[in-house]
Structure 1
């Protein structure tokens, strides 16, 4: 899967969902908003919806550590 340039609004939606998940408070509205935006972005970018969702979750939930001295 190639690096995907995710739009800021999609990243923020996923961050909100991840915060709610960690608190045990994920709402249906939040989950639906994230899924709808993932689908929309995948269509716009002509990418697999699965690749978009997987890459987004990796970005938000398992960010790469920053390089030392950067």
Structure 2
């Protein structure tokens, strides 16, 4: 499944991924990502789990390709 995620949601997930890698993920960041995923899922009619997995893949896969 392919998604067209808005830039703010991609930025939130990127920030969360950076925080996870640094061992300092905050509740505020995690909550913001969760909220963004839930809103996107509801608006697009796609399961939240599928949106979350697609978002993680979009952010983490693009980072792996760059590195």
TM-score (norm 1): 0.86
Matched with 1:12 is: 11
SS state at 1:62 partner:
helix
CA distance in 2, matches of 1:52, 1:27: 21
What is the CA distance between 1:62 and its match in structure 2?
1.6
Q: Deviations over 1:17-63 (max 9, x none)?
A: 00000100100000000001100010011111011000000011122
Matched with 1:45 is: 44
TM-score (norm 2): 0.90
Matched with 2:57 is: 58
Structure 1 residues not aligned, in runs of 5+: none
Using a 3 Å threshold, how does the CA distance of structure 1 residues 33 and 3 change in structure 2: closer, same or farther? same
Between the two proteins, the alignment pairs up a number of residues equal to 65
- Structure 1 ranges of 4+ moved more than 6 A: none
Structure 2 residues not aligned, in runs of 5+: none
Q: Compare the two structures and name the one with the higher helix fraction.
A: 2
Matched, 1:21 2:30: no
